[in-house]
Amino acid sequence: MMQPSEYSVLFTRNPEKGQPKMNILIVANRENGATIDTLYQVIAYLDMQGIGHVELDVSQLPDSSFVYSGKPASDILPDLESQVDLVVPLGGDGTLLHTSRLANVLNAPILGINFGHLGFLTNSANNGAIPLLADALAGEICQEQRVNLRIDVICEGDEDEPPTEARSFYALNEIAVARGAMGHIVDFDLHVSGDRVAHLRGDGVIIATATGSTAYALSAGGPLVGPSHRGMIVAPLAAHTFKSRAIVTEHHDIVEVSLAEGSASAHEVSLFVDGDALEFERPISSVIVKTGERPTVLLNRHEESFYKKIARTFFE
Is residue 93 annotated as a catalytic residue, yes or no?
yes
Q: How far is CA 247 from CA 57, 174, 186, 226, in A?
A: 37, 14, 19, 15
Side-chain half-sphere exposure of 287, counting CA atoms within 13 A? 32
- What DSSP string runs through 114-173? E-SSS-SSSEE-TT-HHHHHHHHHBT-SEEEEE--EEEEEEETTTTTS--SS--EEEESS
CA gap 175, 150 in Å, rounded: 10
Three-state DSSP class for residue 304: coil
Where residue 147 falls (left for φ over 0; alpha for ψ -120 to 50; beta otherwise) is: beta
Please give the Cα distance from 298 to 288 (Å, whole number): 26
From the candidates 93, 135, 203, 274, give the one annotated as an active-site residue. 93
What are the two backbone dihedrals, phi and then psi, of residue 43, each rounded to the nearest 5 degrees? -60, -45
Phi-psi region of 146 (alpha: psi -120 to 50; beta: other; left: phi over 0): beta
Q: Cβ atoms within 10 A of the Cβ of 74, count?
A: 11
Residues in the chain: 316
The answer to whether the beta carbons of residues 248 and 233 sit under 8 Å apart is yes
d(CA 303, CA 316): 19
- CA angle, corner 64, sides to 61 and 68, nearest 5? 110
Active site members: 93
